[in-house]
Amino acid sequence: MSKQPVVQLDHITKVIGNKTIIDQLSFELFPGEVVGFLGPNGAGKTTTIRMIVGLMAPTAGEILIQGIDVQQDFEKAISHVGAIVENPELYKYMSGYKNLLHYARMVDGVTEERIDEVIELVGLQNRIEQKVSTYSLGMRQRLGLAQALLHRPSLLILDEPTNGLDPAGIREFRDYLRMVADKEDVCVLVSSHLLSEIELMCDRTLIIQSGKLIGEKQIQKEEVTAEAKKQIVQFQVNPVEKAISILQLQKIVLLYSNQTSFEIEIERDNVPKLVKNLVAEDVSIFAVETRVKSLEDEFLEITGGKSVD
Ligand SMILES: Nc1ncnc2c1ncn2[C@@H]1O[C@H](COP(=O)(O)OP(=O)(O)OP(=O)(O)O)[C@@H](O)[C@H]1O
């Protein structure tokens, strides 16, 4: 990417007591991208975010936001950050507009035009004069997003952003995030232990475990055709042992098997040939089910089978 990074973490380590919580963590985040920060509970996501926003000092290493060292010039660095924690803090008895006005007064340089702009960005024009207590959870999340955007941050940090939203709400929030990242050229960091949430929302995912970056995944969008993707295919067959010996001959990697079925990773184009071979060897096939490899499968591969939560 040719753009300058918004955030640079350079070999960040955090030791508390005699425990290394974050271990030489390095990554860069760029404008306009929505990045997932994924890891099981206790992996070190919150600690990392606390260091990025200057609430905790690293034991070693450097964090730069827009090139400014968070430790050396906290106020200037933090002026580029907007954050929404789990539930945005809103005054329910006040209107959406009054909430935004209240926050705008606490920050320098937020004009009324900017307030109107963020309201439009999150699609709350028609409801902004009504009390927050009348808002749905999704609308509250969007108002929280508007509030975090008021001072034109370059980095937006969202911690478990869709907590409590239903699938339709998650989809809607994702579309707003995507649009905000594009229109405001802001980098959005989404911290979550939910693979489904991250997979839906993010362009790229950083996977953290025990304070270390253990994987990075660029989530491919439309450019990857379904045919080209590796798929996980489950076969229900009889006898399974015979089928497995055929797989072994063809050097197909077996992911899982039980007494009635097995699961393999295979390219779509190779499925018909395998079916023919199984039938030719007198293996009865009761069902063949395909699913595209999900981030969860990747995560399990990378972490060696330790699932999140
Ligand atoms: N102040 C502290 N003192 C001692 N240990 C701590 C402290 N803060 C965090 N830890 C430990 O550091 C590890 C990382 O915690 P952290 O909260 O960053 O994980 P997380 O990935 O955000 O998990 P979660 O999804 O549960 O919030 C955990 O093992 C936690 O117990």
Residue 261, domain extent = 230-292
User: Which parts of 147-211 are beta strand (E)?
Assistant: 155-159, 187-192, 204-209
Q: According to the model, what pLDDT value does residue 292 have?
A: 65
Q: What percent of the chain has pLDDT over 90?
A: 56
**Do 73 and 197 have their domain in common?**
yes
Mean pLDDT of 92-109: 90
Q: Average pLDDT, stretch 88-97?
A: 86
**61, 202: one domain:** yes
Check pLDDT > 90 for residue 306. no
Assigned domain for 256 exists: yes
Best residue among 13, 18, 45, 159 to mutate for probing ligand 1, ranked by most atoms within 8 Å of CB: 45
Using alpha carbons only, what angle is made at residue 141 by residues 140 and 146, rounded to the nearest 5 degrees?
95
Residue 157 near residue 81 (C-beta atoms within 8 A): yes
Distance between CA atoms of residues 208 and 23, nearest Å: 10
Q: Does residue 300 belong to any structural domain of this protein?
A: no
Under the banding of pLDDT at 50, 70 and 90, the label for residue 294 is low
Indicate whether 58 and 81 sit together in one domain: yes
Residue 136 in domain: yes
ipTM: 0.93
Q: What's the pLDDT at 39?
A: 87
What's the rounded Cα separation, in Å, for the pair 55 and 240?
Answer: 56
Q: Which pLDDT score, from 0 to 100, does residue 230 have?
A: 64
- Residues 92, 143: one domain? yes
Residue where a domain stops, chosen among 218, 245, 278: 218
CA dihedral of residues 289, 293, 299, 304 (deg, nearest 10): 60
Q: In 10 A of CB 174, how many CB atoms?
A: 19
User: Which residues fall within 8 angstroms of residue 244, CB to CB, at 6 or more apart?
Assistant: 254, 257, 262
Using most ligand atoms within 8 A of CB, pick from 47, 160, 214 the residue to mutate for ligand 1. 47
Q: Give yes or no for residue 14 CB within 6 A of ligand 1.
A: no
pTM: 0.74
Please report, for the domain that includes residue 32, its CATH number. Answer: 3.40.50.300
105 and 206 together in one domain: yes
In this structure, is residue 297 part of a structural domain?
no
Ligand 1 pocket, 45 CB below 6 A? yes
Residue 67 forms part of a structural domain: yes
**Percent residues over pLDDT 70 in the chain:** 88
Same domain assignment for residues 144 and 268? no
Residue 225 lies in a domain: no
pLDDT, tens only, 37-78: 988 888 999 999 999 999 899 999 999 999 999 999 999 999
Q: What is the pLDDT of residues 130-176, one digit of tens each?
A: 999 999 888 998 999 999 999 999 999 988 777 777 777 888 888 88
Question: Is residue 89 predicted with pLDDT exceeding 80?
Answer: no
Of 162, 117, 171, nearest to 140 (Cα)? 162
- Tally of structural domains, the chain: 2
Q: pLDDT for 4-13, tens place per residue?
A: 999 999 999 9
Ligand 1 centre to CA of 33 (Å) is 26
Per-residue pLDDT band at 202 (split at 50, 70, 90): confident
